[in-house]
Chains A and B, each alone.
Chain A
Amino acid sequence: MLKPINILLVGVGGQGTILATRVLAKAAQDAGYDIKVSEIKGMAQRGGSVVTQVRLGEKVYSPIISQGGADVILAFEKMEALRWLSYLKPDGHMIVNDQAIPPVPVLTGAAVYPTDCLARVKQAATHTIVVDALNIAIGCGNPRAANVVLIGLLARRLPIAKDTWLQALQARVPEKFLDVNLKAFEKGYAL
């Protein structure tokens, strides 16, 4: 039996990780995989750390991914990439959005946002891709589509056909935002 593919999506409340997870789950479902998704929302809307875990394979038991167990980490924010780095397999792929969202302890001056997030991530994870998803999304017409730029990057690296991804986007993205999100997906997919 093939081992499941483990994907961790990490970010900050409000960045669209939940929609990204739903697109990924839909694509994996249509591609015929068994799936488990763990989505602890808790206080996500209140600006806390958000992590969702997606596992796909022939047969998946546990919905959660262990430290050192993620094949891919899709990080929507660069300090969160560093925070979850220990979950990446030694040969795993890290996809990082080059965006910093300072948490309140940093805003109030009680803590300092590390300046070397990307350097530390790159040093530990050999397969690291850094992308300015926010600016690409703005170029597509809506900064909120940054999540789908990242999904585009992920899509190229998973054994799921591109058409399946496009159908998943159509199924999960509200119609009035579909055009901008399809554009954002293509930009990400081309990277």
Chain B
Amino acid sequence: MKELLSGNAAIARGAYEAGVTVGAGYPGTPSTEILENFAKYPDIYAQWSPNEKVALEVGAGASIAGARVLVTMKHVGVNVAADPLFTLAYTGVNGGLLLVSADDPGMHSSQNEQDNRFYALMNKIPCLEPADSQEAKDMVGLGLDISEQFDTPVMLRLTTRVSHSQSFVELKEPGPRTLRPYSKDPLKYVMVPAHGRLRRVFLEERTARLKEYSENCPVNFIEWGDRSLGVITSGISYHYVKEVLPRASVLKLGLTNPLPEKLIRAFAAGVAQILVIEELEPFLELQIRALGIAAKGKELLPSYGELSPALMADRLSKAGFPVAREYLAAAAAGQEAAGEPLPGRPPVMCAGCPHRGVFYTLKKLKLIVSGDIGCYTLGSLSPLSAMDTCICMGASIGAALGMEKANPELARRTVAVIGDSTFLHSGVTGLMDVVYNGGTSTVLILDNRTTAMTGHQENPATGTTLLGKPAPEVDLAAVARAVGVNRVRTVDPMNLAELERAVKEEVAAPEPSVIIVRRPCMLLKKNTAAQPVAVDKETCVNCGMCLQLGCPAISRREGKAHITAIQCNGCGLCIQVCKKGALTKRGDENA
């Protein structure tokens, strides 16, 4: 049976068919839907971990115990999981272990665009790169077979276009799911130096055997065409090559670490010139050139952002390559519409979002805001513009402490802002650091009872698991007290006066404080009965205070504030900022 699936859904299906019984991960675009889809299959176990390191450690244990395992994360999550990964490469596996790294070229929703194929090279583990959903599904089974055959974790490296594009996938019945027997093997699993040295030698032997395997691996194949041009490519770029250079000979690499040296040499010998087309870094190109093969690649195409057929057609035609005529015509026709440039449409906090009042207050108090990763990062955008830093998951607290240590004058002007899921991911260690090293930072934990930005995943503080089972809720206030914070309070961000008072008092206090700002995400519990706010046009003096909230329901019409009733969720924040009392819930107003 054929089904139209996204790359992510195809991977979940592949894991189900290949007998994976344990899945673990941390949500992160573009990887999130893999585990969400996998969790829907029968007779499997799947979980969100507090962060990617723990997820991979759970995966390692499950593999050692004999299960086939799927571990999922976005590219930057692999940084968090890098510590177990580098040693898991030494221990190898019992049941097959597949680590999915979903990279984000073009940074659709990420803070950087690192090319995680280099992790595979550095770890000396195999890397598979699918080009579409069918390959994504097939490479799950293949990767698990390789993992077990060669005693290694395997990386399945996706990109956003593969994760979020849909194409047809042939579904199969699930295969057998048998646990491999567990046996104690300290030489393999206890990585003390003496054992590690033995496994270090094994790593080289394994790499040599993988290289040999790579030569005949079915996902590395040649499509001979015109011999005047040979293209070596991987991942989504393969499909762009087929459209833009339809006559070229193509070496499509699905297993990109380690590379098949003989196959590459044979291909190069069969064509007049070699072009390497890959997204992001010259990962293939550097290694191909190191073989002594003259190849062009990044001198023609950028090593940042996504590739596209249009971009390739433009650059390659200028360099004299035989680009498909329709793409040349398209490049010429694609003119910008004449006239004034258009206003942008940036993402925005939803109407009724509990984060809005927090950033309104922080801006009003002119505080330095050490920010973090989640929906609340939108607080950095105009008109709130209330964020000074955003680096990585959990960085807000450590960075706030660093600011204070560098310049004690900043201590009474700085706050850290972090979400509930992000705090549990890697913020709690930063908080310990503040207490331990005598910091006086004020940390706002924006507890909206979910992992919102990635689409509302459960986390250890929400009381539910990925499989929908009830779970104990982490008590964030108790955690803060337990690490030694004496000043811990909980406020409702919809009460601006209370919130402002709390922030002022805690920032002034010369000791660490935690303010838990608690209100569920508006999208979780939409109050459909809430009455929209109305504007009394007589009272409104057009001061624009309500517009400073950046609420998508509020605009200015004919010199007065205007509330679009169908957008308004009746949160009442604007009523609190209006100094004239012109905003009320008295009546309805048509949009």
* A interface list, Cβ under 8 A from B: 3, 12-13, 25-26, 29, 34-49, 60-64, 66-69, 79-80, 82-83, 85-87, 89-90, 102-114, 116, 120-121, 124, 143
Contacts and interface: CB of A to CB of B under 8 A. Distances in A.
B168 interface: yes
Interface in B238-259: 239-240, 242-243
A43 B313 CA distance: 29
Interface string B176-204: 00000000000000000000000000000
Given A48-B348, A86-B335, A114-B343, 14 more contacts: A36-B165, A42-B108, A43-B109, A43-B453, A47-B345, A47-B347, A60-B167, A63-B167, A67-B331, A103-B345, A104-B348, A120-B338, A124-B337, A124-B338
B272 interface: no
B334 to A, nearest CB: 3
Interface stretch (B53-61, B118-126, B440-448, B549-557): B549-557
Contact of B382 (A49, A80, A89, A110): A110
Contacts of B154: none
Contacts of A48: 345-348
Contacts of A66: 308-310, 313, 327, 330-331, 334
Nearest to A54: B166
B28 to A, nearest CB: 12
A118 to B, nearest CB: 12
B74 to A, nearest CB: 12
B544 interface: yes
Nearest to A48: B347
Interface centre among A39, A63, A80, A121 (most CB of B within 10 A): A63
B26 to A, nearest CB: 18
A64 B161 contact: yes
Interface residues of B, number: 63
A102 B339 CA distance: 18
Contacts of B164: 38-41
A70 to B, nearest CB: 10
A120 B348 contact: no
A97 to B, nearest CB: 15
Contacts of B453: 43
Given A37-B166, A38-B165, A63-B161, A112 B343 contact: yes
B528 to A, nearest CB: 14
A83 B309 CA distance: 20
Given A37-B4, A47-B552, A79-B342, A68 B332 contact: yes
Interface in B337-373: 337-340, 342-350
- The residue in B164, B333, B349 that gathers the most chain A C-beta atoms within 10 A of its C-beta is B333
B422 interface: no
B438 interface: no
Contact of A107 (B161, B308, B555): B555
11 contacts: A26-B4, A36-B165, A37-B167, A38-B165, A40-B160, A63-B165, A66-B330, A86-B335, A105-B343, A107-B554, A120-B338
Given A38-B161, A48-B346, A66-B310, A102 B166 contact: no
Contacts of A38: 161, 164-166
B329 A68 contact: yes
A20 B168 CA distance: 19
Interface string B39-57: 0000000000000000000
A36 B309 contact: no
Contacts of B346: 48, 103-105
Interface in B108-144: 108-109, 132
A63 B383 CA distance: 36
Nearest to A25: B4
B375 interface: yes
B291 interface: no
Nearest to A43: B347
A108 to B, nearest CB: 5
B538 interface: no
B523 interface: yes
B4 A67 contact: no
B470 to A, nearest CB: 27
Contacts of A113: 343
B109 A62 contact: no
A63 B165 CA distance: 7
Given A105-B382, A109-B544, A86 B344 contact: no
B383 to A, nearest CB: 5
B378 interface: yes
Most buried by B among A35, A47, A89, A112: A47
The residue among A68, A87, A120 with the most chain B CB atoms within 10 A of its own CB is A68
Contacts of A83: 342, 345
A86 B308 CA distance: 15
A38 B166 CA distance: 6
A18 B455 CA distance: 15
B152 interface: no
B299 interface: no
Given A43-B109, A64-B308, A64-B309, A82 B166 contact: no
A47 B350 contact: yes
Contact of A85 (B109, B167, B337): B337
Contacts of B338: 120, 124
B161 A108 contact: no
B546 to A, nearest CB: 10
Interface in B201-230: none
A92 to B, nearest CB: 10
A67 B333 CA distance: 8
Nearest to A53: B165
Contact of A62 (B239, B348, B381, B550): B239
B457 interface: no
Contacts of A106: 343, 555
